[in-house]
Amino acid sequence: MCIRDSNITGFDKKSIDVPIGRLFGKRDIMILETLFWPFMNEYKYTQMSKKEFIKKNNEFTSNLALIENNVSTLGFVTVPVKGLIYYGGKQFGSKLFNKNKTIIPNSKKIKVSIKSLDQKVKKAIDAAYNRIYKFHSLQKFKDVSYIDKYQNKVKYKYVPLESVAIYVPGSKVSYPSSVLMSTIPAIVAGVKRIVMINPGYKGKQNAAVLYAARKCKIKEIYSIGGPSAIAAAAYGTKSIKPVNKIVGPGNSYVASAKKEVFGDIGIESMTAGPSEVLVVSDNKSNPEWLASDLIAQAEHDSLAQCILISKDKKVLKKTKNEIINQLKSISRSSIAKKSLMMNGILIFENSENKIAEIINKVGPEHLELNIKNYKSLIPKIKNAGSICLGKYAVMAMTDYGVPGTNHVLPTNMTSKYSSGLSVSEFIKKISYINLSKKGIETLGPSVITLATNEGLDGHAKSIKKRLGEL
């Protein structure tokens, strides 16, 4: 299957930066590495395949092979525009990795799908939308301006981004909440073009996700996913116009792809995913509740990180037993079990200062202070995406927008320098300066002095000319 190379913008059109003997330039390699990231990571393949060839008919596919002992054991062919990946091997033949055949869902099918959705689910999405919108509407920025005594006018204006893409993960589990969380801040900010990227599951998109998209008045929906979807949104295809920024949670492959395209476009100021929770408990905490909170986080992803710190050893032991019992009764038990086995940690610590130290080192996405005296601990916490206070402020409530706060939060220790998704992610700031004749006459000499000191004579002369000194 072939795609015309003109369908993808961003690939080098000129060979000026391509060394002799090389087909692709640096920018090409970056894009291809983004598309192939899952396989490069999984199979420790660090060098791009050099067998890609663009024929005279100007059509191509991108290919990657795994060679062991001089024998090709695994091969991949990707069609980036459609988000299709084919893979094959001697033992199992060829298969389609991604079954999405339609990049743009049919509007009639969307309507039919939404119509079939349970009314209770629709009402729940409506309620979440209203609460999330209300909270984020409080984050609107006011332009700043002033006029000094020399009649110099300065203004700092907040301008919404022109276009963004929200990434909504696709799997057996649907995420209409992620649609709301990523889109509503953009709506409040004033973004005009909002694109939704959602691979769906087995080629079909979830009705709840589609309803949430309609609630947010999203007009562009693309049924693609993974790193190839990130590349398509960043650089554009024949079917998709590029956007200025991509936001939204995803697995480690999606997160890595977003990092690869950063610089050409914007992404959130944090790493969003895989999920994390850190729970602090004491002797008053309910082990059943603690276990359910940890499992709730673990069922997101097998790579999710779940940590429980307790001031009481008995609580830790009881919670561990509860986890074993409760895992038997949830549908995603295999995922949750793997997560807890690989990334679950139980810590005994009764020193409040040391607990705070652990929290600040981890910088968890979600922090639950399931302790009676949480007020004394709060001032010591510097790094966390969101903090749930008390035994009733459970993370699961925040995931579905009940408080109105955003659930797209910094992970992988990025809370040390970033925050959760907000209106500010969709706004840029522009400065406007209008200097008066009196202003430049009064303040210009000091600038000339500084420019001369720094050896920037051109700066000094541009001011001197206006002062009539040259």
- Give mean pLDDT in consecutive 10-residue pieces for the chain, a chain of 470 residues: 32 44 55 56 42 39 63 63 58 53 74 91 94 93 91 93 93 83 95 92 84 93 86 87 90 80 88 82 92 89 89 92 90 88 89 93 93 92 93 86 85 88 93 93 94 94 88
CB of 38 closer than 8 Å to CB of 251? no
| Helix 207-215 with 176-189: angle, nearest 10 deg | 10
State the Cα angle at 234 between 233 and 237, rounded to 5°: 60
Is residue 215 located within the same domain as residue 250?
yes
Residue with tokens 């910094």: 410
In a domain, 101, yes or no: no
Please give the Cα distance from 360 to 129 (Å, whole number): 32
pLDDT given at position 445: 94
Range of the domain at 238: 107-272
> Domain containing 171 — which CATH number?
3.40.50.1980
Per-residue burial over 271-286, b if 16 or more Cβ lie within 10 Å, else e, is bbbbbbbbbbbbeebe
Is residue 204 located within the same domain as residue 248?
yes
Residue where a domain terminates, one of 33, 61, 96:
96
In a domain, 149, yes or no: yes
Given 268, 276, 365, 368, the catalytic residue = 365
pLDDT given at position 77: 66
Please give the Cα distance from 355 to 287 (Å, whole number): 19
Is residue 56 located within the same domain as residue 176?
no
Report pTM. 0.74
Residue with tokens 């398509």: 232
For the chain, first and last CA: distance in Å? 67
Q: How many domains does the chain have?
A: 4
The token duo for 102 is 């339609």
pLDDT given at position 235: 87
In a domain, 209, yes or no: yes
300 is catalytic: no
Please give the Cα distance from 267 to 245 (Å, whole number): 5
Is residue 154 located within the same domain as residue 255?
yes
Residue where a domain terminates, one of 55, 73, 96:
96
In a domain, 418, yes or no: no
Is residue 266 located within the same domain as residue 282?
no
pLDDT given at position 59: 47
Given 136, 366, 407, 425, the catalytic residue = 366
Is residue 158 located within the same domain as residue 195?
yes
In a domain, 411, yes or no: no
Is residue 222 located within the same domain as residue 321?
no
pLDDT given at position 9: 37
In a domain, 330, yes or no: yes
Is residue 238 located within the same domain as residue 303?
no
Is residue 13 located within the same domain as residue 28?
yes
In a domain, 431, yes or no: no
In a domain, 122, yes or no: yes
Is residue 218 located within the same domain as residue 290?
no
Residue where a domain terminates, one of 61, 96, 131:
96
Phi, psi angles (nearest 5°) of residue 27: -65, -40
CA 249 from centre of chain: 4
pLDDT given at position 24: 54
CA proximity to 248, closest of 166, 171, 187, 161: 166
Query: Looking at the chain, how many residues does it have?
Result: 470
pLDDT given at position 101: 54
The token duo for 458 is 């051109």
407 is catalytic: no
Is residue 244 located within the same domain as residue 356?
no
Is residue 132 located within the same domain as residue 265?
yes
Residue with tokens 């060979």: 15
